[in-house]
């Protein structure tokens, strides 16, 4: 198990989430405009999610093989993340990534309270 890092800096994690919100807006606009750059924006967003997992966990490197062992990963997170990575241009992948960000944020908050 790759445990939640209860000493992770909340401000730093919030910075990653703020970056996600900016990228999320670009992705949403790209889908609305049928822009081909949506794929590039999704790749940036996937990297941000990986960074969030690393920064919130007791690890220094993202390990896709050990993905299921991240304590902060939400239910079915491994399967959902695999779908996102293999189909980044699909709107459903964007929706799943958005859900993963939201659910991971909630789980981090719960774990922070639990480990106090």
Q: In terms of residue numbers, what domain contains 42?
A: 10-114
What is the structure's pLDDT at 116?
Answer: 76
What is the structure's pLDDT at 61?
Answer: 95
Q: How confident is the model at residue 28 (pLDDT cuts 50, 70, 90)?
A: very high
Averaged pLDDT, 100-115: 94
In a domain, 2, yes or no: no
Phi, psi of 2, rounded to the nearest 5 degrees: -95, 100
Residue with more model confidence, 8 or 55? 55
What is the structure's pLDDT at 99?
Answer: 98
In a domain, 94, yes or no: yes
- What residues contact 68, with CB distance under 8 A and at least 6 apart? 77, 78
In a domain, 82, yes or no: yes
In a domain, 83, yes or no: yes
**What tokens appear for 48 in the block?**
């941000």
Select from 116, 2, 111 the least CA-distant residue to 54. Answer: 2
Averaged pLDDT, 55-72: 95
In a domain, 42, yes or no: yes
pTM of the model: 0.95
Q: pLDDT of 64-77, one tens digit each?
A: 999 999 999 999 99
In a domain, 77, yes or no: yes
Residue 6 has pLDDT above 90, yes or no: no
In a domain, 5, yes or no: no
Select from 58, 62, 66 the least CA-distant residue to 47. Answer: 62
Instruction: Provide the domain count of the chain.
Output: 1
């Amino acid at each position: 198990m790759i445990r939640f890092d209860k000493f992770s800096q909340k401000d730093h994690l919030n910075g990653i989430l703020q970056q996600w919100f900016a990228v999320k807006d670009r992705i949403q606009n790209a889908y609305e405009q049928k822009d081909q750059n949506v794929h590039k924006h999704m790749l940036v967003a996937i990297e941000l999610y990986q960074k969030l997992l690393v920064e919130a966990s007791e690890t220094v490197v993202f390990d896709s093989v050990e993905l299921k062992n991240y304590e902060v990963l939400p239910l079915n997170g491994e399967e959902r993340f695999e779908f996102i990575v293999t189909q980044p241009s699909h709107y459903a992948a964007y929706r799943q990534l958005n859900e993963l960000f939201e659910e991971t944020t909630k789980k981090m908050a719960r774990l922070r309270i639990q480990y106090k």
